[in-house]
Amino acid sequence: MGGESAGMASSSLNPTRPGARGPARASHRLAAPPRPALGSAVLRRRVGAAAVALVVLYAGYMLWFRNLPLFSIDEVTVTGATTNERAITEAVEQVAGDMTTLHLKDDELRRVVAHFPTVASVGATTSFPHTLHVTVTERPPVAFVKVGDRRTAVSADGYLLLGASFDPKHLPRIEGLAQGARLDGDAGAQAAILGATPTPLRDRITGSTWDEQRGGVVVGLDGGPDLRLGDGSRAHDKWTAAVAVLSSYEHGSPSYLDVSVPDRPVSGG
């Protein structure tokens, strides 16, 4: 009897193995990944549809809406042009016919004003419904050159500023030649140097020339030495070096100052 009782107690305290495996299988089934919720698939479809709609709307705006006659340009204003203003305005009006206030073609504007050497850059804005506003930035004259019997202003980047008004008493003369609409290499180097002249020295410049024996550009300075500046590169650095050296002389000045290498100025004479 004692053995049987012990066996029964053992059986009640230790469940059978089949019973023990049942909860383990249930736990395994609970760990399986859940199926995707139906709401996630709907959300993805809605996002995709919205993206397609945005692409269609953008394409419609770019290809159709912004080119509607409702936004055609009927009036053009040009500011900033002191030379060839009428011709520039007429040229802009011609290309503006293919634009609208919602669709400006900047490349076309730059192309049409590039025929005018006095124009350095151009910008444009619009006002609804039909007006185009063009702002011109001109190349300022820094010197003049004689082409035949005619004096013509030139810019720092060597363009002949045909039609630009200037006072030859207030601009130095460049000794050089022009090739088409621009100065040649030697004269262009002089223009680059003169374009960087510090304001306090501009009225003191008596002229400019190119002299191979003296290293390139030579600028005459009223009451000062001849300035030898080499080629047209690092123009601002060369003038900075020249001003620093000239301001250091307390009694007189040398006959020449060579700043063709601005880090190592040399004076003499």
* Tens-binned pLDDT, residue by residue, of the chain (269 aa): 444 444 444 444 444 444 444 444 544 555 556 655 557 888 888 888 888 888 888 877 677 777 778 888 999 999 999 999 999 999 999 999 899 888 889 999 999 999 999 999 999 999 988 999 999 999 999 999 988 888 999 999 999 999 999 998 899 999 888 888 899 999 999 999 999 999 999 999 999 999 999 999 999 999 889 999 999 999 999 999 999 998 887 656 789 999 999 999 999 87
Write out the two tokens for 231: 């080629």
Angstrom distance (rounded) from CA 21 to CA 43: 41
- Kindly report the pTM of this predicted structure: 0.72
Same domain, 156 and 244: yes
pLDDT in tens, 202-221: 999 999 999 999 999 999 99
pLDDT at 148: 80
Given 116, 138, 160, the domain boundary residue is 138
Which is it for the CA torsion 189, 192, 198, 201, positive or negative?
A: positive
Angstrom distance (rounded) from CA 136 to CA 133: 10
pLDDT at 34: 60
Number of structural domains the chain divides into: 2
CATH label of the domain that carries residue 83: 3.10.20.310
pLDDT at 252: 63
Alpha helices in the chain (DSSP H): 2-13, 17-30, 38-63, 85-96, 106-113, 185-195, 199-202, 235-246
Same domain, 151 and 131: no
φ and ψ at 20, to 5 degrees? -70, -30
Same domain, 85 and 163: no
Q: What range does the domain containing 230 cover?
A: 143-268
3-state DSSP assignment of residue 160: strand
pLDDT at 33: 60
Which is it for the CA torsion 242, 245, 248, 252, positive or negative?
A: negative
Given 107, 138, 169, the domain boundary residue is 138
Same domain, 75 and 134: yes
Angstrom distance (rounded) from CA 193 to CA 233: 8
Same domain, 148 and 243: yes
Given 98, 115, 138, the domain boundary residue is 138
Same domain, 232 and 164: yes
Angstrom distance (rounded) from CA 196 to CA 206: 15
